[in-house]
Structure 1
Amino acid sequence: MTAMAADAAALASGKGHEDENFPVASWVLKPQYRAPIMAFYRFARAADDVADNAAASADEKLALLGAMRATLDGSTDANPESLALRQVCAERGLTPQHGLDLLTAFERDCTILRYASWDDLIDYCRYSAMPVGRFVLDVHGESRELWPANDALCAALQVINHLQDCGKDYRTINRVYIPTDMLAAAGATVEDLGRDRATPTLRGVIVELARKTQGLLAQSACFAGCIHDKRLAVEVAVIQRLAESLTRKLLTRDPLSERVHHSKLETLLIAGTAGAARMLTR
């Protein structure tokens, strides 16, 4: 292993929770829940930075992720982010499985650069996104009967992120989450992602994926209303509304040549409206 990749901290991107598309442990949540959620976020961010590093080799990244896994399961104390999460889980009687599942996705990212179908992509989301929401629900003591709605929302958030970054992911790390069978059926190619502007065929695939994402969001529309903790329900309602808005943007904007993100003002307006509506409903 090179000196550069001697530990996960060396591969840190500098990205933090305030740089994400969606709220992470926001002030809306009760204070006693924010610290464990931030521990999970810091663990996830460290692993994501390892998997997405363009300079380290696959073997180097897998070794670092392996150290994170070993720390989380208690075999070693080598990784600080994993150790902090392990301690949070022990203190609160939570399973470390959500973190271990998340590592499975990042380990895949080191060696799997293409996804053949929508089903394959959703299976990736099962490990890369769904455990995040499941952990938040467990921290709050919510019923696991909420997992299907959570899983649909988390998968939608992940697909949105993939579509927003599809050009950058291809150019910088040669990773493509857009299913190759959908590209082939439309007459598009992976190489189209390297263009300055999406071709009509690639644009059609992005629109089709955005519509599939709308289907996921339809499945999660009931989620906030089923959550017992009122403040968590507000945060989920905000995330749902932000995701719906971004998906509509993807139906009309080209992520290769146009910005498909919310401005800070847009985020505040959407979040305020969704949060107020949720509180009034409660």
Structure 2
Amino acid sequence: MIDKKVDRLEQDYYDCETIIKEYSKSFYYAFSQLPRHDANAVYAIYAFCRKADDSVDKADNIQEKKVQLRKLEKEVSAFLDGIPQDTPMWRALDDVKQRYKINADMLKVQLEGQRMDVDFKQPADIEELIEYCKYVAGSVGCLLLPILSDNIDNQRYIEAEKLGVAMQITNILRDVGEDCSNLNRIYLPVSLMKDSKYTKQDLEQGIINEAFINVWETLAETAENLYDDFVEELKYYKVEARLPLLISLNVYKELLNEVRNHQYDCFSKKHAVTKARKLYLKKVSKKYIQQHFKG
């Protein structure tokens, strides 16, 4: 007899996989290397994060953003109370919660980060930017930790959060122009722009000069240092998760080089790592794992 419940769950995970394939080719390229059950769990987490992000970014106005966010907050509360919505994403997440020791409260942290975007205020300094990144992306690292690692303690959560911060800073640096023109958000810290003498008007006009490059590279260096530090964390992750994690890290890090290679044009071009480059980074990552984790 065919188990219809299992059949439906497989379809639920497939729906989540479809979302990550469409919206994050870099993440999908890396985490599709995981064993199927772990990959499915990552897809479900990503589907939630995508839904949270869209609830704010795709709404037409502030009021609609708040309405959508409150709706999602109610769904999260019901999920935490053991009453998930009867939809593919929530059914998949409920299965993830049963199979892994995820800290589901991080879903609330993620939504708090989205609330910061609704009531947006340009970060005053790098520390404030990092704090924002902890909410919207550090929370993702913390959600994924129990899926990818059997070493779960406070320090591992701190380090997983840092990787999320690095990736969010990378997203911000890639999307500077789009965030400013389409969302009316400037994530570049006020103090950093002031110190470099790069103005809001410069940003709105898409001016790429020495001042802009200085601001951009200061943040890029922050992200790159976090990436480099995280490589040491790989030893705490499952054997089968090390390569996908390193691929993900290296592909995201490469996004920064893509921007550099195109003369820092974050205004007229959407940067992405090519398939050929991803394949190269996969080989480099695999060689590193083989050399540093023998046996």
Q: TM-score, normalised by structure 1?
A: 0.84
Gaps of 5+ in 1: 1-13
Structure with the higher helix share, 1 or 2: 2
One-letter amino acid matched to 1:67: K
1:37 aligns to 2:12 (yes or no):
no
- Residues 72 and 195 (structure 1 numbering): CA distance in 2 closer, same or farther, change over 3 Å? farther
Structure 2: distance between partners of 1:273 and 1:89 = 34
Q: Which residue of 1 aligns with 2:202?
A: 192
Structure 1: distance between partners of 2:107 and 2:86 = 13
Structure 2: distance between partners of 1:143 and 1:93 = 9
Name the SS of the counterpart of 2:250 in structure 1. helix
Q: Which residue of 2 aligns with 1:236?
A: 245
Structure 2: distance between partners of 1:51 and 1:142 = 34
1:156 aligns to 2:166 (yes or no):
yes
**The 10-residue stretch of structure 1 (239-248 or 182-191) with the greater mean CA deviation from structure 2:** 239-248
Structure 2: distance between partners of 1:162 and 1:104 = 18
Name the SS of the counterpart of 1:16 in structure 2. helix
Mapped contact 1:129–1:158 kept (Cα < 8 A): yes
**The 10-residue stretch of structure 1 (151-160 or 212-221) with the greater mean CA deviation from structure 2:** 212-221
Mapped contact 1:21–1:261 kept (Cα < 8 A): no
Q: Which residue of 2 aligns with 1:146?
A: 156
Q: Which residue of 1 aligns with 2:33?
A: 28
Q: Which residue of 2 aligns with 1:175?
A: 185
Mapped contact 1:125–1:158 kept (Cα < 8 A): yes
Structure 2: distance between partners of 1:204 and 1:15 = 35
Q: Deviations over 1:178-218 (max 9, x none)?
A: 11111112111223222244233222211211122222223
**The 10-residue stretch of structure 1 (34-43 or 143-152) with the greater mean CA deviation from structure 2:** 143-152
One-letter amino acid matched to 1:22: S
Structure 2: distance between partners of 1:79 and 1:193 = 44
Name the SS of the counterpart of 1:202 in structure 2. helix
Structure 1: distance between partners of 2:22 and 2:189 = 29
One-letter amino acid matched to 1:50: S
Structure 2: distance between partners of 1:68 and 1:182 = 38
1:65 aligns to 2:53 (yes or no):
no
Percent same amino acid among aligned pairs?
19
Q: Which residue of 1 aligns with 2:52?
A: 47
Q: Deviations over 1:134-166 (max 9, x none)?
A: 222212433333233322222111100001001
Q: Which residue of 2 aligns with 1:135?
A: 143
Name the SS of the counterpart of 1:59 in structure 2. helix
1:126 aligns to 2:131 (yes or no):
no
Mapped contact 1:101–1:128 kept (Cα < 8 A): yes
Q: Deviations over 1:208-266 (max 9, x none)?
A: 11122222223213122x13411211112112222332334445531224554211211
One-letter amino acid matched to 2:254: S
Mapped contact 1:73–1:86 kept (Cα < 8 A): no
- Residues 45 and 258 (structure 1 numbering): CA distance in 2 closer, same or farther, change over 3 Å? closer
Q: Which residue of 1 aligns with 2:98?
A: 90
One-letter amino acid matched to 1:232: A
Gaps of 5+ in 2: 1-17
Report how many aligned residue pairs link the two structures: 268
